[in-house]
């Protein structure tokens, strides 16, 4: 909004038509469910959801959720032999069937993971929720298949319909779209270099609304804001980096206006 304020108060800065959008619930992957790309009317866009100074991102995880439901069978523990199915114990066993070295704590860069986000249960019923992430589409599909295979294994062991799993795709790697529109990356990189900011092009180990927007017809890489330690108690943002982000936004607006003038 500071960049918008600057452009409005400095009419001498040349720029084309600029569209501004705010999306809710980005963290649950539904922020653009009702985003009308045609009505928005832009050819290109950038999300402002990055972290450290210079971050420029056009790759992200392919993402899915996997929700396991486990139905147990309760009986007095004194007479439980051969009868009881403890859903909470089966849920605990389920977690051991995923690779222990493919969790967020053990992975970096282009390495995907399985992340247990919640687990709860009693003897009669239990639930375990995972998120599945991988930059590579083939490995992403393999990870989803593993969730189904684990479900099948536990049903073979404890009886049919003991475990069910619901796997749902959330978003996909926007690289496939952005590579067809690299002007977005080239312009942003050029603006940063002109401002003395070293571009830090790296894959997002997460997602942005830009990923879904890209597949909805609005190519949309991600720019830095200066935020750090996201989703933790030590989250913070660097004001000086925010100020640089404003300069980059204004510079991108100028750069596209210059390209349009040159083309015409």
In angstroms, the CA 229 to CA 188 distance is 24
pLDDT band at 230 (very low <50, low <70, confident <90, very high): confident
Looking at residues 151-161, what average pLDDT do you find?
A: 97
- Percent residues over pLDDT 70 in the chain: 96
Average the pLDDT over 175-184 and give the result: 95
**Segments of the chain assigned to CATH 3.30.70.360:** 62-171
pLDDT at 207 over 90: no
Pick the closest to residue 57 from 198, 174, 171 (CA basis).
174
* pLDDT greater than 70 at residue 260: no
**Structure tokens belonging to residue 113:** 């993971």
Q: Is the pLDDT of residue 264 over 50?
A: no
Start and end residues for every CATH 3.40.630.10 domain found in the chain = 2-60+174-263
Assign domain 62-171 to a CATH class.
Answer: alpha beta
Give dist(CA 153, CA 88) in Å, integer: 17
Where residue 10 falls among pLDDT bands split at 50, 70, 90?
A: very high
In this structure, how many other beta carbons lie within 10 angstroms of the beta carbon of residue 99?
A: 11
Regarding predicted confidence, which is higher, 230 or 136?
Answer: 136
Pick from 230, 207, 202, 233: nearest CA to 220: 207
pLDDT at 262: 60
Give the residue from 116, 95, 252 showing the smallest Cα distance to 185. 252
- What average pLDDT does range 111-116 have in this prediction? 98
Residue by residue, DSSP assigns 208-256 as -HHHHHHHTT----EE---EESTTSTT-EE-HHHHHHHHHHHHHHHHHH
pTM, to two decimals: 0.84
Tell me how crowded residue 202 is: count the other CB atoms within 10 A of its CB. Answer: 16
User: Could you identify the residue written with the tokens 């312009």?
Assistant: 187
Residue 242 and residue 56: Cα distance in Å, rounded? 14
pLDDT of 97 over the 50 cut: yes
Class of domain 2-60+174-263 as given by CATH:
alpha beta
Give the SS3 label for residue 164: strand
- Tens of pLDDT, residues 50-63: 899 999 999 999 99
The pLDDT confidence band at residue 237, using thresholds 50, 70 and 90, is very high
| E strands in the chain | 47-48, 55-57, 62-71, 113-121, 125-134, 163-171, 200-201, 222-223, 227-228, 236-237
Work out the angle between the directed axes of helices 239-263 and 2-9 (0-180°, nearest 10). 50
CA dist 149 and 151 (Å) reads 5
Mean pLDDT of 8-23: 93
């Amino acid at each position: 909004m500071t960049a918008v304020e600057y452009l409005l108060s400095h009419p001498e800065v040349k720029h084309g038509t600029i569209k501004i959008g705010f999306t809710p619930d980005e963290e649950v992957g539904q922020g653009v469910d009702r985003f009308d790309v045609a009505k928005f009317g832009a050819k290109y866009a950038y999300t402002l959801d990055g972290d450290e100074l210079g971050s420029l991102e056009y790759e992200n995880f392919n993402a899915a959720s996997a929700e396991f439901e486990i139905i147990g069978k309760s009986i007095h523990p004194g007479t439980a032999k051969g009868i009881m199915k403890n859903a909470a114990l089966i849920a605990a066993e389920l977690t051991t069937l995923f690779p222990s070295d493919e969790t967020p704590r053990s992975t970096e860069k282009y390495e995907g993971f399985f992340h247990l986000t919640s687990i709860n249960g009693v003897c009669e019923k239990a639930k375990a929720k995972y998120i599945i992430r991988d930059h590579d589409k083939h490995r992403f599909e393999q990870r989803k298949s593993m969730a189904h295979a684990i479900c099948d294994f536990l049903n073979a062991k404890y009886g049919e319909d003991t475990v069910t799993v619901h796997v749902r795709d959330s978003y996909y790697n926007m690289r496939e779209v952005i590579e067809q529109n690299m002007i977005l990356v080239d312009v942003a990189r050029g603006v940063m270099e002109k401002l003395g900011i070293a571009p830090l092009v790296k894959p997002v180990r997460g997602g942005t609304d830009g990923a879904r927007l890209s597949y909805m017809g609005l190519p949309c890489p991600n720019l830095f804001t200066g935020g750090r330690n996201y989703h933790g108690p030590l989250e913070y943002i660097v004001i000086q980096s925010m100020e640089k982000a404003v300069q980059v936004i204004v510079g991108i607006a100028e750069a596209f206006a210059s390209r349009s003038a040159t083309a015409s």
